[in-house]
Amino acid sequence: MSSNPTRKNIAGTSPYEPIIGFSRAVRIGNVVHVSGSGPVGAEELSAAEQTRAALRIIEAALTQAGASFEHVVRTRMFLAHAEDWEEVGRAHGEVFGAIRPATTMVVAALLNPKWRVEIEAEAVLP
């Protein structure tokens, strides 16, 4: 596979990145795709705190890619429990209330049974 000079893979801290074959984020030109980010280290906290933890991971990846939350045009939230939707939504709104990206929230089984939320994001730089 030839390398694309406009592609930048951004590593995270997951030991599974090389095993599964993924990057925390990938920047292609002015677009940044951030992989699903779970609340690593916050597994015992509330759904809202888990959301904030996942968003901090996303923010770090965006920063490494030269972007910020203001550039996010899309988020996807995966909830382990439908009843967490409002708590997760409010925590998401703390960051994105004024930015208002296109957003999807679905209920799904998550890889870590202690996770209540996993979030992915897409950003476009001007």
Question: Sorting pLDDT into bands at 50, 70 and 90, what band is 72?
Answer: very high
> Which region among 4-8, 74-78, 95-99, 105-109 has the lowest average model confidence (pLDDT)?
4-8
Using the predicted structure, report yes or no on whether residue 1 has a pLDDT greater than 70.
no
Going across the sheet that includes 25-28, the strands are 7-10, 25-28, 31-37, 117-124, 72-79, 102-107
Cβ atoms within 10 Å, residue 45: 15
4-30 mean pLDDT: 88
| Closest C-alpha to 89, from 60, 51, 118 | 51
Question: What is the token pair recorded at 42?
Answer: 């916050």
Question: Sorting pLDDT into bands at 50, 70 and 90, what band is 75?
Answer: very high
Alpha carbon 14 to its chain centroid, in Å, reads: 13
The helices-and-strands tally (H runs, E runs) of the chain is: 2, 6
Q: Which domains does the chain have, with CATH numbers?
A: 7-124 (3.30.1330.40)
Q: pTM for the whole thing?
A: 0.93
pLDDT digits (tens, 9 = 90+) for 33-64: 999 999 999 999 999 999 999 999 999 999 99
Question: Sorting pLDDT into bands at 50, 70 and 90, what band is 4?
Answer: low
